[in-house]
Structures are given as C-alpha cells and as structure tokens.
Amino acid sequence: MALAQVLRPLQNIFLPEHYPDLLTGLNPPDDAAIWKLDDERALAVTTDFFTPVVDDPYDFGQIAATNSLSDIYAMGGEPFLALNIAAMPPQLPGDIISEILRGGAEKAKEAGVVIAGGHTVQDKEPKYGLVVLGFIKSDRILSKSGMQPGDFLFLTKPIGSGVVAAAIKNEIIKSEDTKEMIAWLKRLNRDAATLALRHGSKAATDITGFSLLGHAWEMAAASHAGIRFDFASIPLFPHVLSLASEWCFPGGSFDNAEYYDPHVQFAPHITQDKQMLLFDPQTSGGLLFSITPENANQCIQEAREKNIPLWKIGEVTSTGIIEVV
C-alpha cells in the first residue's frame, strides 16, 4: 500500500494554519520538522532508523547515527540532543548490541551531540537510529523549495551505497572492497552544510532512500523548477558500475524507478543499468544543494582548500522535469 494512501485519513487532523509556529512539517515534506522559538531561532526535530547495511556492528551504529544527524544538517541546523531508537532480537548477543550503541554514541559525540537515553524493543531483525533535535537560525533555513533556475547543483558524497549493500547481502563483494564506501557513510554532513550556508544556498536535501533522482524531484517539485544532471559528473562508489552491469540492485531501486521515472528524461546514451543507479536508495548519503552561479566558484575554492568533498553535477532549469544527459 502506498504511503500517501496510508496517510490520507490524517490529512485534516493537523492543519498548517492551526500551527503558525510550525515552519515545516505539515506542508510539502522536508527533511525535518521545524518549530519557531522566537524571531531568531527555531528547533529542528527528526528521526530515522533502519536495519544493518554492513556486517560490523560498530560500523552499523556509526552509519545509523550519521544518517539520523544528517536531516538536521540538511535543513541548515546544528544538532545538540538525541535519543536512541533500537529494536533488537532477544537472541542477539549483548556485546553486539553494545557495539552498535557505542558506534552511535561516539559518532554523536563527534558531532557535539549528547545521547540522553532512548527506547528499545524486541524485534526479529536489528534496527537502530536516533531521534535528533537541533537549533537553527530562522533566517538560514535550508529547504527543498529554495532553488531558482540557473542555480548550480552540488553533491557531497558518491552514489551507489544501495548497490554495494545488496552485494554485501548476496556475498558477491569482498569486505576489503567496501571499506571506502563505509568510510563515506560514516562521514558527517556538518562541513558540507556549513559550506552551503556560507555561500548563500537556500535549498538542500540529503540523499537517502528515495535515491538521487527521487530527492532531486522533491526539490524540483517544491521549487516549481526542473533539473538537468550531467551523468558523467556524478560521483560513484568503487565497483558500483560493474555491480550495476550485473543487475545487482536492492528492491528499493525498482520501487523508486516505478514512482519517479515519469518525471525523468534520460539521454539515449544513458543505458538502463546506469539509469537504475540513479534510482538506487542511499544510506547516509551526501547533501544535494544549489548555489547561484555568482557564488559557485568561491564555494568550489573553499571546498578545495578545506578538503570538503564537492562535485558540481548539474543545474536548475525551468522545464519542470528531471533531465539526465
């Protein structure tokens, strides 16, 4: 059953006009709910959790925490407080659970966030994540609706984690071939968000389960604009192209393709396996944000000087569709 159908009965329970201090959350979806505190500050609130995407429990905890924190960064906020959300099988050894929670705690501490408790239940498959709160300046909120035609689009992490995770699950990739991707998934989006804000970005999102094209379409629709991506400029994790050629995709790729493909036009030279890569659901992905052409060169220069990963992958158009060329 489609999520929109499930949520339809709730549409008239919470009306935006009844909650004027709720700046995001009830209107078209954004990465976090934002509540106005005063004329200068707002509170951003988000939550996320998922099943393991890697074998090592500590790495899983680190990645899950990084992913949960990312939504606050994607809105331009600074996280400060979190709660654990965990579902663990009763037969799972305690030392494995401890390693998952330790990974999450150490990543939160790296981000300057304190984990103050949480909640755990039993489940058949491990699940872990965080509820995260952050402060955000009211005049510096990044949203999905802030793009303008002519803006350049930047991405801060490679694409293809869903493909690699599927390869791990099916035991068709060596563990040493996944180390680079795991390091990326544990990388906070803090510096990327600071960079985007410093150079005047108004629009951003983090690339997660709906894929690069899915989240890009959310931005395009919210901004009443279009996007043109240059496929050759989109960074990919190692081994992803070869895995894609073997049709190693998670189930979510096909769901994303079915839902978002009507909004996308691919150039004839983009083969079907490469098209599917852009529908690949990501875990703890990078930020996708827009910058005006006037600010783009300075943004690129600062990223290079501070060793902040950054790829210019496209531009905003007025077509109302996503193009991949």
Q: What percent of the chain has pLDDT over 70?
A: 98
Residue intervals in the chain for CATH 3.30.1330.10 = 3-140
Whole-number pLDDT of residue 1: 43
Whole-number pLDDT of residue 4: 62
Q: Where is average pLDDT lowest: 3-17, 50-64, 254-268?
A: 3-17
13: amino acid identity, one letter: I
pTM, full prediction: 0.94
CA dihedral over 289, 180, 164, 107, signed as positive or negative = negative
In this structure, the chain runs to a length of 325
What mean pLDDT is reported for the chain? 95
Among 183, 180, 165, smallest CA distance to 243 is for: 165
pLDDT per residue over 175-213, tens digit each? 899 999 999 999 999 999 999 999 999 999 999 999 999
Residue 3's pLDDT band (boundaries 50, 70, 90)?
Answer: low
Residue intervals in the chain for CATH 3.90.650.10 = 152-324
pLDDT per residue over 147-168, tens digit each? 999 999 999 999 999 999 999 9
Helix residue ranges, H only, the chain: 3-7, 57-74, 94-110, 161-169, 179-185, 190-198, 211-223, 240-245, 251-260, 272-277, 293-305
- The domain 3-140: what is its CATH number? 3.30.1330.10
Among 119, 171, 137, 143, smallest CA distance to 288 is for: 143
* 3-class DSSP state of 82: strand
Strand order in the sheet with 311-317: 204-206, 287-291, 152-155, 311-317, 226-229, 322-324, 264-266
Whole-number pLDDT of residue 240: 97
d(CA 203, CA 230): 19
Tell me the backbone φ, ψ of residue 216, rounded to 5 degrees. -65, -40
pLDDT of 288 higher than 90 = yes
Where do we find the tokens 């809105």?
75
Task: Give the architecture (CATH level 2) of 152-324.
Answer: Alpha-Beta Complex (3.90)
For 259-265, what is the mean pLDDT?
97
